[in-house]
Amino acid sequence: MVIEQAATSARLDAVFSALADPTRRAIVARLAEGEATVNELGAPFDMSQPAISKHLKVLERAGLITIGHDAQRRPRKLEAEPLDEAMDWIERYREVWEENYQRLDALLAEMQAKPGARKRKRRKN
């Protein structure tokens, strides 16, 4: 169990680290629309092809993209599983915060319902 948690943690670290860069997030967003070559992925950016390739390597190491084979083309493809794992992790904490907000809402409603809950205005003498 501990080894599995460590592996999951390492995968999440790699995914969140890869997604921390805006260029890589833009590449992921583009690949969500479908496969693309390195040249196609690099077109919107003002950077060299080697720089784009470095970003792609980071995404590959995180498991977010894979390289396909289509004749002479080697299109990149988005992989859903690492994103699903990240979403599951985020969702667990969203649920915790949602429960906290619901408890706070209930407490505020309870405080407002009590007759002495409102502060009395001070009288001016």
CA distance 73 to 112: 66
Residues 81, 7 contacting (CB under 8 angstroms): no
- pLDDT value for 4: 61
- What's the pLDDT score for residue 12? 93
Residue range 2-79, CATH number: 1.10.10.10
Per-residue pLDDT, 121: 56
> Rounded mean pLDDT of 6-33?
92
| Range 10-16 average pLDDT | 93
pTM, full prediction = 0.72
Q: Tell me which DSSP letter residue 62 carries.
A: T
**Coil, helix or strand at residue 20:** coil
Phi/psi class of residue 31: alpha, beta or left (left: φ > 0; alpha: ψ in -120 to 50)? alpha
The structural domains of the chain, with segments of one domain joined by +, span 2-79
Coil, strand or helix at 78: strand
